[in-house]
């Protein structure tokens, strides 16, 4: 476990893919916090059961305010679209994609605030991004987060695609169907074409430094027409996990961008 943790600290500064040069004036960001949810807690008051809030630092902030700045200059707040204004800030939920946010292409640094500064990250020049967030492995708390950035150019993640993101500190071995097999290094991503699928058998294993390759997960993947899927493997950060790694699978409609770059 210590070996995996040391590798995890090395990969967090590695962007998963080189980004392309941004030609437009804006781009879009999405956020995906991954990790284990804390155990459900409740108490009984006057004969009625009440759910207790999660312990501090066991989940990411429910909502964050966003601001950006160029390499030098003041912070500028990022306004949210009306469809996201049901509460103050951008909602974050474990193992769920956030709504997308439009930011200026000139933004070189992004700030996430939740009752004060919570997290900041440098933004490479390029196209749209998915920011995968996870709790700091050294402190074991969401009070301090880590992040990796995954480019989401319009032609890089299309309908029918299956995307693997490895933010875990160990190599993965992935088998899709009966023939396709590949390995995915720590801190890397890979996109495969799955297309329409009624149940493609898929297996994910990880390399343990002492025991060799170990089975992590297997399932039959279903993907409808017009959908795309993401599988994220992360370091298990819950209480007494049975395996050092876990994963989350996501399916979504592949929505076209509202406008073309450079228009």
Residue 69 has pLDDT above 80, yes or no: yes
Residue 79 has pLDDT above 90, yes or no: no
DSSP states of 37-96: PPPP-EEEETTEEEEPPPPTTSS--SEEEEEEE-SSS--EE-PPPGGGTTSSSEE--TTS
The 10s digit of each residue's pLDDT in 214-234 is 999 999 999 999 999 999 999
Tell me whether the CATH fold assigned to 18-36+61-155 matches the one assigned to 158-254: yes
Give the confidence band of 203 by pLDDT, cuts at 50, 70, 90.
Answer: very high
Q: Domain residues of the chain, as ranges?
A: 18-36+61-155, 158-254
**pLDDT above 70 covers what percent of the chain?**
85
Do the Cβ atoms of 193 and 219 come closer than 8 Å?
no
Task: Average the pLDDT over 3-30 and give the result.
Answer: 58
pLDDT score recorded for residue 42? 81
Give the confidence band of 204 by pLDDT, cuts at 50, 70, 90.
Answer: very high
Which range among 8-17, 166-175, 200-209 shows the weakest confidence by mean pLDDT? 8-17
**Looking at domain 158-254, does it have CATH number 2.40.160?**
no
pTM of the full predicted structure?
0.83
The 10s digit of each residue's pLDDT in 82-140 is 655 457 789 999 999 999 999 998 899 999 999 899 999 999 887 899 999 999 888 88
Highest CATH level, class, for 18-36+61-155: mainly beta
The H or E element spanning position 11 is helix 2-11
Residue 254 has pLDDT above 60, yes or no: yes
pLDDT score recorded for residue 49? 86
The H or E element spanning position 10 is helix 2-11
The 10s digit of each residue's pLDDT in 45-61 is 888 888 888 888 899 99
The 10s digit of each residue's pLDDT in 18-32 is 333 344 689 999 999
Q: In degrees rounded to 5, what are phi and psi of residue 254?
A: -85, 100
**pLDDT above 90 covers what percent of the chain?**
60
């Amino acid at each position: 476990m210590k070996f995996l943790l040391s590798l995890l600290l090395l990969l967090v500064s590695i962007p998963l893919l080189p980004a392309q040069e941004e030609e437009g004036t804006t781009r879009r960001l999405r956020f995906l916090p991954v990790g284990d949810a804390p155990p459900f807690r409740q108490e009984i008051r006057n004969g009625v059961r009440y759910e207790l809030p999660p312990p501090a630092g066991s989940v990411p902030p429910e909502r964050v305010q966003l601001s950006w700045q160029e390499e030098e200059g003041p912070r500028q707040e990022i306004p949210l679209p009306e469809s996201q204004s049901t509460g103050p800030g951008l909602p974050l939920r474990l193992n769920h994609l956030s709504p997308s946010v439009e930011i200026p292409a000139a933004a070189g640094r992004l700030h996430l605030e939740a009752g004060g500064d919570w997290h900041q990250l440098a933004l490479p020049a390029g196209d749209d991004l998915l920011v995968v967030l996870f709790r700091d492995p050294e402190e074991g708390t969401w009070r301090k987060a880590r992040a990796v950035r995954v480019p989401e150019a319009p032609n890089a993640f299309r309908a029918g695609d299956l995307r693997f993101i490895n933010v875990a500190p160990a190599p993965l071995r992935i088998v899709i169907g009966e023939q396709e097999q590949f390995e995915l290094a720590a801190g890397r991503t890979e996109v495969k074409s799955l297309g329409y699928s009624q149940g493609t058998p898929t297996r994910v294993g990880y390399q343990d430094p002492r025991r060799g390759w170990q089975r992590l997960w297997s399932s039959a993947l279903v993907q409808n027409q017009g959908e795309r899927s993401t599988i994220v493997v992360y370091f298990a950060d819950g209480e007494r996990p049975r395996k050092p790694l876990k994963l989350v699978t996501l399916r979504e409609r592949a929505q076209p961008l509202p406008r073309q770059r450079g228009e």
